Structure 1
Amino acid sequence: MDGEHGPFNVPDFWRPSAFSISDAPEQTLFNDTRFGEHDALCSHMKTFTHGQTELPLIDHHLDTELRLPDLDNFQFGKLDDLHVNQEPDKASTVDLQTCTTSQSDELDDLWKFDLTRPVERPSLRTWEAFAHQDHSESPISYLSDAGPRAFDALQPDDTDVLQSAFALKCLALLGLGRSSTLFQWKKEDKTFVSSLDNVRLSGLSSTAFDSLVQQLTAAGCASVDLRHFVQSSYTTKNPLAARVALATTVQAVLEALDQNLSDQVLTATSFLQLLTCFETPTILLTEMRELISTTAAASTDTAFLSACHETIHQFTNACSPFQSLHAEILKQVSLPWLQVICQKTGLTHHQFDLPAQDDVFERSAHISAEDNAQITEVMAGIAVLKDAAPDHPILAPASWGVDSPDLEASHTCLHFDRIVEKANKYQQDLLLAITRYSRGDSKPLDVNPQQQPDHLTSEQLPWSLDDDQQTYFEDVGTRFAELPANKADTSGIRFLTTEMLEAENIQETSALDLRHLSKTTLHHLTPYLRVRSRLLNGVLLRLLFRQFSLRDHLTLNHSFHLLGNGLFVQRLTTALFTSETNARGLRLDNRSKQWPPASSELRLGLMGVLSEAYGSNDIPGNLSFAIRELSDAEIEKCLDANSIHALDFLRLRYEAPTPLNVILDDKAMAKYDDCFRVLLGMLRMLHFVTLLRSTAQQKHSSPASQAFAHEAWSCVSGLASYFFDIGVGGPWTEFQRTLNTIEADLALEDEEGSFGQRVTFGISHLRNRHSDMLDTIRSRLFLRSRHDKLRSYIEDIFSLVLSVQMNTHLELMLWRQRDELRDLIKEFKSSLNELTRKIGKKKEMSQQDRDDVFAVEVLNFRLGGD
């Protein structure tokens, strides 16, 4: 066996066996039968006689020679016993007549058959029998044929043999996770410990018995851990809703296992039968135990559900035999979370007694980013619609005859088409209700008072109560009249568990199951969420544009915050910078002391500016001037009237009404305020260089003052034209095109009778576009952190211009200041070019990068560059 060729290598495979019979004609097992051509072979052959008929050699005359015998005269003959030394030439003829007579005699004596006569065993042919005529087979004996006692006799004497029936029952209890005489549960070690040492089962070695105990201990420990999880989940003070739901399903699985296994394992007659009973349940217990382990660290329902979804998805990818059961478990565990989603999105109007789900939209594996954004948008839209139109059909579809959607909690893709059909029917019903609401029709249905819970009144109570006591007992009566909330139906869990445990070949059948879990838990809710999102977006956009005049409020902020109203710019310039003593204003140009002004002076100076520019005292959003909250460093800068920051304390206060505050929220208004602060400083600089220019154009002005005034006017006017035309005008015009397109599409939908077909986005998209517009303006006004260096150069230029005094006695100083101004402008241009060089080194340019390149090119041209 250990030779050159190895134990399984046959050097000469075609060599005849040593026990084979020679191929010589006289030593073959059968008579010589030769087939060949009629001309080449002998003319006659030994014949097999049948009466007077001879069977000639088979040749090419098959059509005449091969014919059936005469059935009327044909009789079977008796074949001689096969013997090794029988010569083939001495083939005896068969007397068929004798055989027939013998068989007839045996049939006649059938009822006289002696059953007590020993039956002769058939002769078994072996290779040794062929080689040796007198060979006799010797019986083969194995140790296991002698029974377990012989096997036990050969085992070491230091082990005790247990009684089979007693040991099997203890082992069965061990697999079920229960203590017995032989195996006790140790709480400290969290495992089962044997009560006796050096014991084994009859017919098994110590190693085999230990392996048997180890396998059953794993199943028993898993059962104990699962029961402990169920108990601890119910006794926790503030348990997670998802954890309680999982505990309910685990309890149902354990009950089904106990019911299915108890009768089988306790009546097992062998350890192999016992192991077979626990083979499939051990897989299920192990997977359930892993599911409990992976969700143990979760502190929120969303995190718990995410971990549960990931684990079950791993089981599915590993072709677990319990895929259908895991899908049902995930359905039950997701139920509390799904109820919260349905409540918040308006898919159901049933009120469930559920804990607060503040983390319901926390990023996790069981919900995609797209679904998260869609649910958030629907929730925000419902909140807006409740304030704008609380009786709208989307908020109360039942009162308009729209049935609540039948939410099938199916985690497979098999019935998704059916869900889509129901969602389309739900959409048609809602569209019909919205149309009737738009026409001003009344509600066709009211809430059925019989469906409302009966409240106890004071007349129904046998004693007189005060208001608080009456309210308390009314609530108590209501609670007793209602059905228990969150009734968990675990019948499906028990049925699936029992069905899979009783199924045969569960591994093979489950491997072919293609009903994998969907990628997200919201798979069956997605069609309904899309319907509500699309319809809700259409309703809200129509309300914002038509009922609440969104464009008027946007235009208002552009006119005042972004200085888009020419009349407002003129009135504000006069109120802030006028030098006339008899005019009403702050006269900033002539103020070197007592700055900033008092609040009363500020109100008088700015009185009527907004109302005159708007054309009415009733300004939307209560638009008014106010004082900006500044830090100590910023307040210090405001104290200098000749500083560019002298007016940083002044701001516009605007409060967007509901529901426009969804678009014009606090973040958007903060961006408007940043732009107003910069543009107000630019407005002051334009006024100042205009005064310098008018002074330099007088006859007695010096060439130095004229040169400086021209240089300052060119720089400031170039920056101002860029700020107002490119910085504000460009993004605002593009945003207006977007609004025009939305309103045109809404009008086309109304004409076509469609809803949510052309305009498929909602208020969140509109809010983002508005925010992007403001971000672009802030970027072009150099208000981002990446523009700190540019903004510093602009402040230095403005500070230098504001510090100049147009005095003929200081002509030399004016020339030096003119040169200094030119140097600052060159450094500013160099910083612009440096910004574009940095952007050019990037492999991919973002929208902000492209916007910066465009701004640099335009500003260089406005400042007289290339």
Structure 2
Amino acid sequence: MDGDHGPFDVPDFWRASASSLSDTPGQTLFTDTRFELPLIDDHFDAALQLPDIHDFQFGKLDKLDTLDEPAPKPTDTDTSPVVTSELDDLWKLDLATPNKQPSLRTWEAFAHECCTESPISYISDAASCAFDALQPDDTNVLQSAFALKCLALLGQGRSSALYQWKEKENTFVPTLDNVTLSGLSSTAFDSLVHRLMATGCAFVHLRHFVHTSYANKHPLAARVALATTIQAMLEAMEQNLSERLLTATSFLRLLACFQVPATLLFELRDIVAATAHETTDTAFLSVCHETIDRFAHACSPFRSLYTEVLNQVSQPWSRVICQKTGLTHHGFALPSQDDILERSAHILVEDRDLITEIMTGIALLRDSTSDHPFLSPASWGVESLNLDSASTSMSIDRVVEKANKYQRDLLVAIAMYSSGAPKPRDPEVRSQPYHLTSEQLPWSLDQGQQTYFEDVGSQFLEPPAKPTDTSHIRLLVTSILEADETREMSYLDLRHTTKTTLHHLRPYLHVQNRLLNGTLLRLLFRQFSLRDNLTLNHSFHLLGNGLFVQHLTRALFTSDSEGSGLRLDNRSKQWPPLSSELRLGLMGVLSESYGSKDIPGSLSFAIRELCDKEIEKCMDVNSIHALDFLRLRYEAATPLDAVLSDTAMAKYDDCFRALLGVLRMLHFVTLLRNTAQQEDSSSASQAFAHNAWSCVSGLSSYLLDIGVAGPWKRFQCLLDSVEADLALEDEQGTFGQRVTFGISHLRDEHNKMLDTIRSRLFLRSRHSKLRNLIDEIFSHILSSVQIDVPDEDVLWQQRTELRALVKQLQSTLQELTRKVGKKNELGPQDRDDVFAAEVLSFRLGGE
């Protein structure tokens, strides 16, 4: 049977099987039956021909009663049909066959008319005992009942008399060689064993994962949650299989019992393998979500089950989220989770931004106002969120109802806090552990022992840890196995698994974010004077204070020998000045301009850190970059640093650096024009001074009016609107209804305003060509001071070069306008560039 050609191998389709029996009568399983049909002879040719239409005549019709007469039966000696000349006799053709066995036709008989057919039989048509008798001598044929029981244990990952688990090989090893099941070939039996062994190994590997997860000294909370969930699923599968395998009386039914559990076990094993190397709960949950999402896109029939798995695994991460966002205030013993939003593929981008904003707001509130109801809601009569009330088993309408109640209670607490009312209760003080003194004990306690006993007492006061409820998991697994959903769930279900804990936390998060935003905005505007600090930076960094501009100009550029300024106009050496000289020259500038020595943010002059190339530019007193080393230092206090962040202050400093150069040019061309207005000045000096003044005044008016004043005025309108809406909410008794954004939006608007100013001052990389041309024009004007004896020809040449540079600047502005105009869609930055280029070109004398 296992020779050159197996029982199912047919090299030649038309050749008889090698396992066929002899054609000798009595050796076949079927009797020699034949079917023979009489042939229609030539006598019917004339009778079947149609009559000629020209000589056709209707004959005499027979009586109706003659039709009922039976046709004469043929005799045994005459086997040919009776043929008459009557047309009606054709339908009385006797097709009766002789009393012989019918013949079974085969494909060979249809293909070859002269083929001699021989009855064929296969060994599989006989009983299993005949099939087993042809097995090789060294093959052990197992009885079905015993073998099926061992195979059932193999599929469940249990050792049996036929298969034993080996730790070294990490697989099951057969105890007998060359075995097969009765009625199966070795190939079919090996395939059966291979499928059941893969299922059993998956069982063993998952049990090992559960055991190692519990035995780890420092396990991840998410990994322990996954192990608990998998353990519940394994127990449900084993219970279901133990009942179904009792009815499996054949190997086909045995395979059917393991079909659905095998698919589930393999997918669970993939989840365990994918998350094996993760070291944080966030990364573990993210990889787990990505793997399950891949199964969902592959039309896995276990979508509802995986939704509950994600819910269970995300419980530790959700507890941290609730703590960080102020929804819960229980002392969960969880490790530090500074990366709870890192690699968070399991949440949407908008949810991640929402959580980040709430976490930032809670941290700011804790640093500024530690006794606010947001930080201790229980002491103000507000119930903290219970994670059970945000589980997937509760309807979303019920969750929204609880979130609205939480909002009402918190609003009452905030109103009490704002009015100065005391806390209605303080459970923290009531639950404070009783301190034992040395006098009350027969022995003395040091500080370490006292702390130890207090910690032990606090642990006994805490409620016991609630075990994880896996009943829903068990019910889902049981229903899937009993319904055999691999046949019922044949449709494509590509929906995203959104029914997780975060989905039910979202109503609470939106309430928390809205109320927290209103609280923080009121604190910023009313308690921490945000607008005063913004005005301070506009007055000094953006030169919005005229008194500061006057004092700074006198301190830096004065030529009065009696003054205490740096006298930049008539210095030819020792530049930059010494730190003591710089401090003396700028003394009192800020305090006199502000009107008080107590300036918010400790605003003061400082030295900017520069690279070697920038330091070399500062060494030249006649360079436009001679003052690049000077900067203003401002340190925003908490929570003002959420808006006046380090990034925003770097942008302020960038603007101050450029405007300080413009301030120097205004002072220089003013002196140049005053000198040219004297009676002994030449026409060349007057012409050069006029062109220099026109160019610098046009540039400075654009930079200060369009570049700084315009964006700043629009930002002030936004702040006015926010303060007006907050006051209207207080009058109407609402909270978070008119002002729905928070500090992050205010910070973004502030940074957007600074970006617009930097763009209009041509400080961005896309404007490097324009910035270089402006610096070249300023440097060309400053170079006129190096002429010791005014020469008419040199001044006329400088005037011509200055005009050429201005025209080149105008051409560059027009080129920028044309370049932006070629785009199909203009963004806000493109439209602002076109507006700035057109205004500056007009200020420089262009059309």
TM-score scaled by structure 2? 0.82
Root mean square deviation of aligned Cα: 3.4
Matched residues, number: 749
**Contact 1:340–1:357 (Cα < 8 Å) also in 2:** yes
In the alignment, structure 1 residue 831 sits paired with structure 2 residue 822: no
Partners of 1:520 and 1:783 lie apart in 2 by 47
3-state SS of 2:734 partner: coil
In the alignment, structure 1 residue 606 sits paired with structure 2 residue 571: no
Partners of 1:262 and 1:540 lie apart in 2 by 60
3-state SS of 2:260 partner: helix
Give the aligned partner of residue 727 of structure 1.
707
CA displacement 1:777-826 (0-9 Å, x = unmatched) = 11111111122222222222111211213766422211111112122222
**Contact 2:142–2:182 (Cα < 8 Å) also in 1:** yes
Give the aligned partner of residue 829 of structure 2.
848
Look up the equivalent residue of 1:853 and give its one-letter code: V
Distance 1:592 1:565, change over 3 A: same
Give the aligned partner of residue 195 of structure 2.
215
| Offset of residue 727 of structure 1 | 0.6
Residue from 343, 348, 352 that aligns with 2:328: 348
3-state SS of 1:442 partner: coil
In the alignment, structure 1 residue 359 sits paired with structure 2 residue 339: yes
Distance 1:841 1:191, change over 3 A: farther
Residue from 539, 543, 548 that aligns with 2:523: 543
Distance 1:356 1:343, change over 3 A: same
Partners of 2:440 and 2:305 lie apart in 1 by 50
Partners of 2:267 and 2:636 lie apart in 1 by 55
Give the aligned partner of residue 811 of structure 1.
792
Give the aligned partner of residue 203 of structure 1.
183
| Offset of residue 164 of structure 1 | 3.2
Look up the equivalent residue of 1:845 and give its one-letter code: L
CA displacement 1:178-203 (0-9 Å, x = unmatched) = 23332233545543333333211123
| Offset of residue 481 of structure 1 | 5.0
Partners of 1:516 and 1:774 lie apart in 2 by 40
Q: Which runs of 5+ in 2 are unaligned?
A: 1-12, 15-34, 38-62, 74-95, 103-120
Give the aligned partner of residue 226 of structure 1.
206
| Offset of residue 273 of structure 1 | 4.3
Partners of 1:458 and 1:18 lie apart in 2 by 119
Distance 1:745 1:481, change over 3 A: closer
Partners of 1:388 and 1:441 lie apart in 2 by 19
Give the aligned partner of residue 724 of structure 2.
744
Give the aligned partner of residue 14 of structure 1.
none
CA displacement 1:190-249 (0-9 Å, x = unmatched) = 433333332111232323322221221121111122123223434556543322221221
Partners of 2:735 and 2:133 lie apart in 1 by 88
Residue from 735, 760, 766 that aligns with 1:780: 760
In the alignment, structure 1 residue 579 sits paired with structure 2 residue 559: yes
Distance 1:131 1:240, change over 3 A: farther
| Offset of residue 524 of structure 1 | 0.8
Look up the equivalent residue of 1:404 and give its one-letter code: S
In the alignment, structure 1 residue 523 sits paired with structure 2 residue 506: no
In the alignment, structure 1 residue 801 sits paired with structure 2 residue 786: no
CA displacement 1:254-276 (0-9 Å, x = unmatched) = 23333443465478554344334
3-state SS of 1:804 partner: helix
Residue from 356, 362, 368 that aligns with 1:376: 356
Q: Which has the higher mean CA deviation after the structures are superposed, 836-845 or 505-514?
A: 505-514
CA displacement 1:802-852 (0-9 Å, x = unmatched) = 121376642221111111212222222222223233323333222222211
Distance 1:160 1:539, change over 3 A: same
Partners of 1:228 and 1:316 lie apart in 2 by 26
Partners of 2:508 and 2:601 lie apart in 1 by 37
In the alignment, structure 1 residue 698 sits paired with structure 2 residue 678: yes
| Offset of residue 329 of structure 1 | 1.3
3-state SS of 1:552 partner: helix
Partners of 1:632 and 1:622 lie apart in 2 by 29
Look up the equivalent residue of 1:159 and give its one-letter code: T
Partners of 2:726 and 2:133 lie apart in 1 by 94
Distance 1:693 1:262, change over 3 A: same
**Contact 1:378–1:536 (Cα < 8 Å) also in 2:** yes
Look up the equivalent residue of 1:218 and give its one-letter code: A
Partners of 2:131 and 2:439 lie apart in 1 by 87
3-state SS of 1:789 partner: helix
| Offset of residue 749 of structure 1 | 1.5
Q: Which has the higher mean CA deviation after the structures are superposed, 758-767 or 252-261?
A: 252-261
Look up the equivalent residue of 2:514 and give its one-letter code: R
Give the aligned partner of residue 843 of structure 2.
862
Give the aligned partner of residue 751 of structure 2.
771
Give the aligned partner of residue 661 of structure 2.
681
In the alignment, structure 1 residue 304 sits paired with structure 2 residue 320: no
Distance 1:409 1:423, change over 3 A: closer
Give the aligned partner of residue 636 of structure 1.
616
Task: Write out aligned runs for 1:458-477 (5 A).
Answer: 458=438, 462-477=442-457
Residue from 550, 558, 572 that aligns with 2:538: 558
Task: Write out aligned runs for 1:84-483 (5 A).
Answer: 147-187=127-167, 189-236=169-216, 238-262=218-242, 265=245, 269-316=249-296, 320-408=300-388, 415-447=395-427, 451=431, 458=438, 462-479=442-459, 482-483=462-463
Q: Which has the higher mean CA deviation after the structures are superposed, 534-543 or 456-465?
A: 456-465
| Offset of residue 725 of structure 1 | 0.4
3-state SS of 2:332 partner: coil
3-state SS of 2:504 partner: coil
Distance 1:268 1:450, change over 3 A: farther
3-state SS of 2:719 partner: helix
Partners of 2:294 and 2:609 lie apart in 1 by 55
**Contact 1:320–1:511 (Cα < 8 Å) also in 2:** no
Partners of 1:133 and 1:481 lie apart in 2 by 101
CA displacement 1:621-649 (0-9 Å, x = unmatched) = 11111222222222222222211111112
Give the aligned partner of residue 59 of structure 1.
none
Partners of 1:709 and 1:520 lie apart in 2 by 73
Partners of 1:186 and 1:841 lie apart in 2 by 73
Distance 1:143 1:452, change over 3 A: farther
Distance 1:254 1:849, change over 3 A: same
Residue from 667, 687, 696 that aligns with 1:707: 687
Give the aligned partner of residue 63 of structure 1.
none
